[in-house]
Amino acid sequence: MDDGAWWQVELERPVRLGRVALHWQDAHPSAYRVQVSSDGRRWRTAATVRNARGGHESVRMDARDVRHIRVQGEKRATQYGYSLWAVEAYAVTD
């Protein structure tokens, strides 16, 4: 498994993203970024997480015009890859 592995999703419509909840198994990154995009080609970093502990992590941000979300790994916490059990994305109501 590569440290730079990623997971991404396309939302039904653009939203203002306020929070992403990540549910990791034992194999998780110690550092990662939550990136967002309106078109799936140009990405911007909405949040950077250092010293991640795995398990349930809630990452807050305020990102507008989000249609695509990517969790971009930077460094593994274990010798294994990343095991992302579930992801929840929460929009902010304007």
Q: What is the largest CA-CA distance in the chain?
A: 42
- 16-72 tens-digit pLDDT: 999 999 999 999 999 999 999 999 999 999 999 999 999 999 999 999 999 999 999
pTM of the predicted protein model: 0.93
**What are the CB-based long-range contacts (under 8 Å, 24+) for 56-60?**
56/21, 56/22, 56/23, 56/24, 57/21, 57/22, 57/24, 58/19, 58/20, 58/21, 58/22, 59/19, 59/20, 59/21, 59/22, 59/34, 60/18, 60/19
Encoding tokens for residue 46?
Answer: 């909405």
> What phi and psi, each to the nearest 5 degrees, are found at residue 7?
-135, 140
